[in-house]
Amino acid sequence: MNNPFKFSSEYFDNETNLVYYNYRYYNPVNGKWLSRDPIAEDGGFNIYEIVQNNPINYHDNLGQKCVPKLVAGAPKTVKPYYYSKIKRWAKDIFSMRGIVYARNAGLSATMESVGLDYWIKMEGGYAESTLEVSVSCYCNKNDGKCYADISKTGFPDDEDYPVSTKLAISLTKSGDTASATVSGAAAFQADGKGKVVGQIGKDGVASLGLEIEFGGTKYQKSIELGNFTWVCEKQED
C-alpha cells in the first residue's frame, strides 16, 4: 500500500520527492527547506530551520505560539507625596513617588525620594530603586498548553543618606497565569539644623536670634503601586 503520510504525518509527494508542511516544502534527501520560515526571525535567526532544528523535543502546534498578555493592571504613577511631622518649622521633609510602566511582557518599576530644603536647612539627598519584571510563556510539548514563567531583576534598595528607598515585588505563577504585586517605601533621616535671625522693636535696634537643632528622627511612608496579571495565550505566528 502506497501511504503518502510518512514519519511526521505530513503529505509526501512522490512526483517531487518533497514533504508538504502546509506552510512550506521540505526536502528529506538533503534535510533542507525550500523556503524561509513564514514567521521569519521570530522563529530564530536561522530562517531556514523549524523548531530550532530539534523536532524531537519541540513542535510547532498549528503554527501558534504562546505569548503573554497583560489582562489586569495598567501603567501607574503615584504623584509626589509630601510627608512631614515637623510643625511650623518646615513645610515638608521629603517627597516620594512611585512609577510603574506595565506591558504585555512584564513591567518596570521605579521608586524615587528627594530630600527638600525649607526654612530649616535639611541635609538634602536623592535615592532611586528600580526593578524589572519579565513574563515569558512556553508551550508544553506533551499537552500543547501554554505555561507562564515570571522573574525579576534590578536593584530594589537605595540608601543615600539621609534618603532611602525600597521596592517590593511579589511574584506568583500558576499554569498560564502570572501576577505581580508592587509596593514602594521611602524614608528620610532628619539630621540638620535651622537658624532664624531678625530684628524687632520700633527703633530697629533690638535683634532676635533663634537656632533650632534636631537629629536622629526618621520619617517614612509606604505606597501601593498596584497589582498586575498576565495570561499566556496562543497566538498565530
Give the 3-state secondary structure percentages of the chain, helix then strand then coil, rounded to 5.
5, 60, 35
pLDDT digits (tens, 9 = 90+) for 4-16: 877 677 888 888 8
- The answer to whether the beta carbons of residues 149 and 137 sit under 8 Å apart is yes
Whether pLDDT at 99 is above 90: yes
Whether pLDDT at 174 is above 70: yes
Backbone φ and ψ of 162, nearest 5° = -95, 15
Indicate the pLDDT class of residue 67, thresholds 50, 70 and 90. confident
Residue 159, CA distances (Å) to 75, 97, 129 in order: 26, 16, 9
- Nearest alpha carbon to residue 109 among 162, 149, 166: 166
| Residue bearing the bigger pLDDT, 16 or 85 | 16
- Nearest alpha carbon to residue 78 among 56, 57, 95, 60: 95
Please tell me the pTM assigned to this model. 0.63
* Strands in 73-200 per DSSP E: 76-83, 94-103, 106-115, 126-139, 146-155, 157-160, 163-174, 177-199
Range from 65-74, 118-127, 135-144 carrying the lowest mean pLDDT:
118-127
Residue 46, CA distances (Å) to 1, 35, 37, 215 in order: 37, 12, 9, 64
What Rg value do the Cα atoms of the chain yield, rounded?
31
Q: Scanning the structure block, which residue is given the C-alpha cell 513574563?
A: 135
Predicted local confidence at residue 87, as pLDDT: 45
Distance CA 66, CA 73 (A): 20
Distance CA 179, CA 170 (A): 8
